Copies of this chain bind each other. A is one copy, B any other.
Amino acid sequence: MQTDHEVAVLRYGHRPGRDDRMTTHVGLTARALGADRAIFPDNATQPAETVRDITGRFGGPFAVELREDQSAIVRDWEGTVVHLTMYGLPVQDVEGDVREASTEEPVLIVVGGEKVPWDLYEEADFNVGVTNQPHSEVAGLAVFLDRLFDGEELDQEWEGAERDVIPKATGKKVVDVAGDDVNRPAGAEDGGGDVSEDGTAE
């Protein structure tokens, strides 16, 4: 989003095949809810491709990077590191501090997939729990971003989109950048390829 300092999301760990859909959802959630960049492990090629494809069609700016050394990215990050974990401090108690930090320097949000190394808890400036209950890294990331940006991410504008969804009380309306209606009849594919009709990525 257009903020003074970058907000990046690091997906820590990825098992090809098994984690493809979760890692894709982490990336798409990061994009949709205001982060500037997703950093995936270098074996997450398929999720990276999907997120780039969605960015190409629905707009940006949003970057996806494949990187080898997750630990070094955290260790060398010049800014604030937030680790989302059910063992951390309540998001409602620390979100103000993180928001303040985000006005001064870049923020890296680390979202675990597989087990994360113990060092991560030490290296993070904030270990943050969106509840202390087991649920979903995608859900935790979503609530954290919505709170970090105080809802402003919901009004962001997208650049370079090929298509635009027009909000409707009932039904679907999708236009291409020229403003033409690209809707199909009810029950047909929405033309989104890997985007299902409810708007989720496959």
Interface residues of A (CB under 8 A from B): 12, 21-22, 25, 28-29, 31-33, 54, 58, 84-92, 111-118, 121-122, 124, 127, 129-143, 146-147, 151, 153-155, 158, 164-174, 186-187, 192, 195-201
Chain B positions within 8 Å of A198 at CB level: 12, 84-86, 111-113, 115-116, 137
CB neighbours (8 Å) of A92 from chain B are: 151, 154-155
Q: In the complex, what distance in Å separates the CA atom of A133 from the CA atom of B199?
A: 7
A-B contact pairs, 29 of them (CB 8 A): A21-B22, A25-B138, A28-B134, A32-B130, A33-B135, A85-B199, A86-B198, A87-B168, A87-B199, A92-B154, A116-B198, A121-B170, A121-B172, A124-B170, A127-B168, A127-B169, A129-B165, A129-B199, A131-B153, A131-B154, A132-B164, A133-B158, A134-B199, A135-B201, A137-B198, A137-B200, A138-B139, A139-B141, A143-B146
Chain A contact residues, majority secondary structure: mixed
- Checking B115, B187, B199 against A196 with a beta-carbon cut-off of 8 angstroms, the contacting residue is B115
**In the assembly, what is the distance between CA of A158 and CA of B134, in Å?**
13
Q: B196 to A112, Cβ gap below 8 A?
A: yes
Cα of A85 to Cα of B84 in the assembled complex, Å: 26
Q: How far is the CA of A112 from the CA of B200 in the complex (A)?
A: 8
The answer to whether A89 and B58 touch across the interface, beta carbons within 8 angstroms, is no
Report if A89-B201 is in contact (Cβ < 8 Å); known contacts: A112-B196, A133-B31: no
Assembly CA distance A44 to B27 (angstroms): 26
Chain B residues contacting A147 (CB-CB under 8 Å) are: 146
Known: A29-B136, A136-B28. A87 touches B131 (CB 8 A): no
Choose among A84, A88, A111 the residue with the greatest number of B CB atoms under 10 Å from its CB: A88
Contacts of A195 in B (CB 8 A): 134
B28 touches A132 (CB 8 A): no
Q: A135-B25, A170-B121 are in contact. Are A86 and B199 (CB under 8 A)?
A: yes
Q: Which residues of the partner chain B approach A158 to less than 8 Å between Cβ atoms?
A: 133
